[in-house]
Amino acid sequence: MNLLPSLRSILEELTQRFGTQLQHAPAPQPDELYLHAPPELAGALCSTFYKKYHGRLAAVFAEDARAAEHAFFVYYLYALDAAHGFVLVRVPIPADKPEMNSVTDAVPAANWQEREIQDLFGIKLFGHPNPRRCVLHDDWPEVYPLRKDFDLHTKLPPFTGVRHKFREVEGEGVFQVPVGPVHAGIIEPGHFLFSVAGEPVLYLQLRMFYAHKGVEKLFENLPIPHCVRLAESISGDSSFAHAIAFCHAVERAAGIEAPARARALRTLCLELERLYNHVGDIGAICTDVGFVTAHMHAMRLKERVLRVNEELTGNRLLRGMACLGGVRFDFDADQLRALVTFVDDFEKEFNDLVELIRCNSGTRERLETTGVLTPQIARDLGIVGIAGRASGFDHDLRREFPHDFYDQVRFTVPFFTEGDVQRRMVVRREELFQSFGIIRQVVGKLPAGPIQTKIGEVPPDCVALGFVEGWRGEIFHWIHTAPGNRLARCKVKDPSLQNWPALSEAIMGNIVPDFPVVNKSFNLSYSGTDR
């Protein structure tokens, strides 16, 4: 397939610099460049993409290819936003010497992802600033769950070792305050350990992965058509976005595209998912600073969206709507008219909520300059989505890499540089207003025709990247197909995995009572991280 001119020029420059050490491999899309490189080039390529081409490291993951290639493969996915393309670099790791050099010191965004590789594949890290376990907790023996020879049904022995030790922070008047891992609410577990001097926070340590579900291993044990439902379960509040990202990957591997009407209906559902989550978060931010009245109004609006979801698709969280090759259900003329009427009414009521919050000076005082994430730190950590756009990262996959029906609508991406809780809330507010316009445009341009293209058996040994700008941020699914309409590998990248480390930076210098609202302003998914 022909490359985009912007990627072709980059390939020519890289070939001139690195010569035959770098090999170009076929890619399923013109906006994707696939390269094979030896391990010694991984650091140099990372530096080149990061500094010269102003790219960002979107994902780092591995694959067990020992049976066919006698090696593991480590993949580095770079998003070159200026070139409107992705570069995927594959690096072989010898099976008899599974070790790799870390790039975390140069690109902190790789931190947790490299440690995931070490935990799940047993590929030892060299030069990592903190190579301790990340995904696997201390009660796991020396096993590597994503290796092909690890049986999914393995029963592990009882834990008999030393529990996880957080880093100690010392000094006169310094105390450590643990929060979690079990919380007072219907949320999943996560451990936050604050080091404080009085009330100001000096340091916050995070410990996630208490409810790891082994989703990526489960993908390898299901027929491809059954995997859509598994994708829906990765993160409940992003059920539709994850399902569509997975469908995109399979459709590209199969060389088919969903019909135009199906792509438009997918866009409507993605925006409805954005509506109910954003308005719910705005209310939750208000309640964390004691403005309960605004919270109740927001929850009422969220409930209205959830009921519309159920009327349109049969499920409040839009589960069961997505399918390979399109969508399962069409919307008739009456449903579409009702949707537009709902959006008109919702916008009026949301304007009232916005005005209610705007007139409350105490709320604004609590939110402004609280939980600041500077643009430089956001860039270093690779922060995406809402948090990125509030900290100077002017990026949205719907605009930079239009998927589904987004190339047929006009919208503005809000972004700010202050990086505080107030701006993270305002990003949500402004995105809601943009969603109203997107929904109206899609309904007005909704094409006629089928809602699904049938996909037969997906060819084996194909690789493909699927992505969606979910309400929280960018979601990636990368697949490698296997014989028998199955997957050899499926890598899932939820934006929360990228964004959790930002919380440790944003809370520093704030007081402990501000943590709930700072945390809620990011509203990261435990489930999407744990997978």
User: Is residue 367 within 8 Å of 361, Cβ to Cβ?
Assistant: no
Assess whether 352 and 486 both reside in one domain: yes
Assess whether 328 and 459 both reside in one domain: yes
- What is the structure's pLDDT at 528? 87
pLDDT score of 124 more than 80: yes
Assess whether 122 and 225 both reside in one domain: no
pLDDT score of 173 more than 90: no
pLDDT score of 1 more than 70: no
Q: Which of 126, 151, 167 is the last residue of a domain?
A: 126
Residue 394 included in any domain: no
Q: Tens digits of per-residue pLDDT, 270-329? A: 999 999 999 999 999 999 888 999 999 999 999 999 999 999 999 999 999 999 999 999
CATH number at residue 9: 3.30.460.80
Assess whether 256 and 358 both reside in one domain: yes
SS3 content of the chain, % helix, strand, coil (to 5): 45, 20, 35
pLDDT score of 176 more than 90: no
Q: Tens digits of per-residue pLDDT, 469-484? A: 999 999 999 999 999 9
Assess whether 481 and 355 both reside in one domain: yes
In sequence order, the 6+-apart residues with CB closer than 8 A to the CB of 362 are 289, 290, 291
Question: Quick one: how far is CA 371 from the chain centroid?
Answer: 21
Assess whether 338 and 452 both reside in one domain: yes
Assess whether 82 and 230 both reside in one domain: no
User: Minimal CA–CA distance to 212: which of 105, 140, 315?
Assistant: 140
User: Minimal CA–CA distance to 348: which of 301, 308, 315, 289?
Assistant: 301
Residue 210 included in any domain: no
Section 396-404 average pLDDT: 91
Q: Which of 91, 126, 161 is the last residue of a domain?
A: 126
Q: Tens digits of per-residue pLDDT, 67-86? A: 888 999 999 999 988 888 89
CA atoms of 18 and 217, how far apart (whole Å): 35
437: part of which helix (H) or strand (E)? helix 421-445
Residue 174 included in any domain: no
Assess whether 482 and 333 both reside in one domain: yes
Section 36-61 average pLDDT: 87
Assess whether 238 and 102 both reside in one domain: no
CA atoms of 187 and 123, how far apart (whole Å): 32
- What is the structure's pLDDT at 140? 80
CA atoms of 496 and 490, how far apart (whole Å): 18
CA atoms of 215 and 231, how far apart (whole Å): 8
| Mean pLDDT score across all residues of the chain | 90
Q: Which of 74, 93, 126 is the last residue of a domain?
A: 126
- What is the structure's pLDDT at 103? 86
Q: Percent of the chain beyond pLDDT 70?
A: 100
Section 97-125 average pLDDT: 90
Assess whether 224 and 356 both reside in one domain: yes
pTM of the model: 0.94
pLDDT score of 212 more than 90: no
Residue 390 included in any domain: no
CATH number at residue 244: 1.10.645.10
Residue 51 included in any domain: yes
Residue 493 included in any domain: yes
| Burial tier of 198 (Cβ tally within 10 Å: 0-12, 13-18, 19+) | exposed
The mean-pLDDT minimum among 175-189, 230-244, 434-448 falls in 175-189
How many helices and strands, by DSSP H and E, does the chain display? 18, 15
Q: Name the band, by pLDDT with cuts 50, 70 and 90, for residue 168.
A: confident
CA atoms of 139 and 162, how far apart (whole Å): 8
Boundaries of domain holding 40: 5-126
- What is the structure's pLDDT at 11? 87
Residue 356 included in any domain: yes
| Burial tier of 218 (Cβ tally within 10 Å: 0-12, 13-18, 19+) | middle
- What is the structure's pLDDT at 75? 94
Q: Tens digits of per-residue pLDDT, 231-281? A: 999 998 999 999 999 999 999 999 999 999 999 999 999 999 999 999 999
Residue 438 included in any domain: yes
Domain tally, the chain: 2
